[in-house]
Amino acid sequence: MSAHTGSPSYGFETRQIHAGEINDAETTARVTPIYQTAGYRFSSFDDGEERFAGASSRRAYSRNDNPTNIVAAKRIADLEGGVDAVLVGSGQAAIAVTLFALAQTGDHILATTNLYEGTREMFRTSLARQGLSVEYVPADAPAEVWHSKVTERTRAIYTETIPNPLGDVVDIAALADIAHATGVPLVVDSTVATPYLCRPIEWGADIVIHSTSKWLAGHGSVIGGAVIDGGTFDWAANADRFPHLTTSPRPGVGSAVERFGAGAYLGFLRTVTILEYGPTVPPTSTFLLLQGIETLSLRMERHVDNALAVAREFEGHPALRQIHYPGLESSPYYPLTRKYLPQGAGSIVSFDLAGGRDAARVFIDALDLVTPMTHIGDVRSLAIHLGSTIHAKLTEEERLAVGITPGLVRLSIGIESAGDIIADLGHALDAVSAAGY
């Protein structure tokens, strides 16, 4: 079995189909097979010993090293411009293992204020119980404010390319400069952008996260996550912060930096964190992910076109207090969109209904084509009222502090005919107006 790693001379559309693919000499299968196996037969006593010692390129166990998963990981790393990647069981798992491989009890993470609520909930509950503290700073705060927040226990700056659900695009390069000046990596969740619209590593990010359940897979059929190592951060130069990457774990074994070079972080993540925690994604799910990635560019073009059409159609609608979409020229984030997202601002459009929660109830219940559910990145258009679902555990004051108003409805715009999506949303807004909101 041999690997095809792709070529930087190939275009994105070619690499989304071919990067990382394997040539299975035994079956000559053209499509990457589903390697549905827990383990791999050792050819001898010495072979088993070498595999467990990491002295062999052959795999030992599927908990962290399945051939189907490796293909998808290499493909995503290629598309993002990283040196390596690994798949895990969900986007939440990707966030968790990323930070577990950077920090320990007593350490500190700096994060931009507006993040997906599932991430913030993990930060304030599970990670807090494990002794990690997370401090929030507005993404556009002056550099001196960020610098003042970094302590000797800070281990990363964490952000999202297009924060979900308000689309307040982040200045990645500015945050990368701050992170590197203070000796920590920049971690970017780029799920909403996908590597087709933005590649954070090109702007200075060191680690990129995806919920592969969303646009990468694209069809609402699987759960998964990915972590990509940019190979850009100098771990050895910051050994005091990351001794677990720069010192030997036991006699006779080199450090992660010595063994994995530029991919030291990902090597440690795969061989220690993921191996020990075991957030494995099934290869059956990865097979569907690979099918999705092959059409990513085509789908994203339609997603973006449809989202912009929706935002433009309903901007200024009397039933709406505001539309959040950074692709609108009226958006305060439009300049950053032009810089980081020249091919489009993604497909999350949020409607802030002037009539608040009651108007949102009428709106959601009047939808026909657009599906009310919790998910994003599906080929189908989806809608959810945030205050009563994803953000329901917060107090009203806490919701308002992160921009979640009573009438906020998040839309994930799919790839149906734009006219049909607009007609359905228009019908629901008409129902809101008819109800007097």
Distance CA 235, CA 354 (A): 49
DSSP state of 58: S
Q: What is the pLDDT of residues 258-295, one digit of tens each?
A: 999 999 999 999 999 999 999 999 999 999 999 999 99
In angstroms, the first-to-last Cα distance of the chain is 63
Average pLDDT, integer, range 11-17: 96
pLDDT for residue 4 is more than 70: no
Tokens read off for 378? 């599906």
- Confidence at 253, pLDDT banded by 50, 70, 90: confident
Task: Enumerate the H helices of 58-160 as residue ranges.
Answer: 67-80, 91-100, 117-124, 126-129, 143-149
Residue 232 and residue 186 in contact, taking contact as beta carbons nearer than 8 Å: no
Compare 58 and 305 and report the one with higher pLDDT.
305
Q: What is the pLDDT of residues 112-140, one digit of tens each?
A: 999 999 999 999 999 999 999 999 999 99
Distance CA 152, CA 163 (A): 27
pLDDT for residue 8 is more than 70: no
Q: Which residue has the tokens 């690499």?
A: 15
Q: Which residue has the tokens 């970017």?
A: 188
With 0-12 / 13-18 / 19 or more C-beta atoms within 10 angstroms meaning exposed / middle / buried, residue 129 is exposed
Distance CA 266, CA 324 (A): 35
- Confidence at 307, pLDDT banded by 50, 70, 90: very high
Q: Which residue has the tokens 């009397």?
A: 318
Q: Is 189 helix (H, G, I), strand (E, B) or coil?
A: strand
Distance CA 42, CA 61 (A): 11
| Per-position b or e across 410-431, b if 16+ CB within 10 A of its CB | bbbbbbbebeebbebbeebbeb
Rounded to 10°, the helix 418-434/356-366 angle is: 130
pLDDT for residue 51 is more than 90: no
Neighbours of 130 (CB within 10 A): 13
Distance CA 152, CA 150 (A): 7
Q: What is the pLDDT of residues 310-369, one digit of tens each?
A: 999 999 999 999 999 999 999 999 999 999 999 999 999 999 999 999 999 999 999 999
Q: Is 227 helix (H, G, I), strand (E, B) or coil?
A: strand
- Confidence at 1, pLDDT banded by 50, 70, 90: very low
Task: Identify the sign of the CA torsion 230, 86, 161, 113.
Answer: negative
- Confidence at 6, pLDDT banded by 50, 70, 90: low
- Confidence at 180, pLDDT banded by 50, 70, 90: very high
Q: What is the pLDDT of residues 33-45, one digit of tens each?
A: 898 988 888 889 9
Domains of the chain in start order, with CATH, are: 2-292 (3.40.640.10), 297-434 (3.90.1150.10)
pLDDT for residue 198 is more than 80: yes
pLDDT for residue 5 is more than 80: no
CA 349 to chain centre: 18
Half-sphere exposure of 367 (CA within 13 A, CB side): 21
Tokens read off for 141? 């705060």
**What φ, ψ does residue 408 adopt, rounded to 5°?**
-80, 125
Residue 143 and residue 110 in contact, taking contact as beta carbons nearer than 8 Å: no
- pLDDT given at position 396: 95
Q: Is 343 helix (H, G, I), strand (E, B) or coil?
A: coil
Q: Say whether pTM exceeds 0.85.
A: yes
Q: What is the pLDDT of residues 362-402, one digit of tens each?
A: 999 999 999 999 999 999 999 999 999 999 999 999 999 99
pLDDT for residue 143 is more than 70: yes
The candidate with the shortest Cα–Cα distance to 134, out of 164, 110, 158, is 110
- Confidence at 47, pLDDT banded by 50, 70, 90: confident
pLDDT above 70 covers what percent of the chain? 98
pLDDT above 90 covers what percent of the chain? 87
Integer CA distances (angstroms), 101 to 54, 94, 153, 423, in order: 19, 11, 14, 47
Task: Find the angle CA(151)-CA(228)-CA(159) to the nearest 5 degrees.
Answer: 45
The candidate with the shortest Cα–Cα distance to 186, out of 167, 200, 165, is 200
Neighbours of 362 (CB within 10 A): 20
The candidate with the shortest Cα–Cα distance to 374, out of 98, 88, 164, 127, is 164
Mean pLDDT, the chain, integer = 95
- pLDDT given at position 60: 81
- pLDDT given at position 30: 87
- Confidence at 3, pLDDT banded by 50, 70, 90: very low
- pLDDT given at position 252: 84
pLDDT for residue 7 is more than 60: no
- pLDDT given at position 64: 82
Task: Identify the sign of the CA torsion 18, 20, 23, 29.
Answer: negative
- pLDDT given at position 53: 79
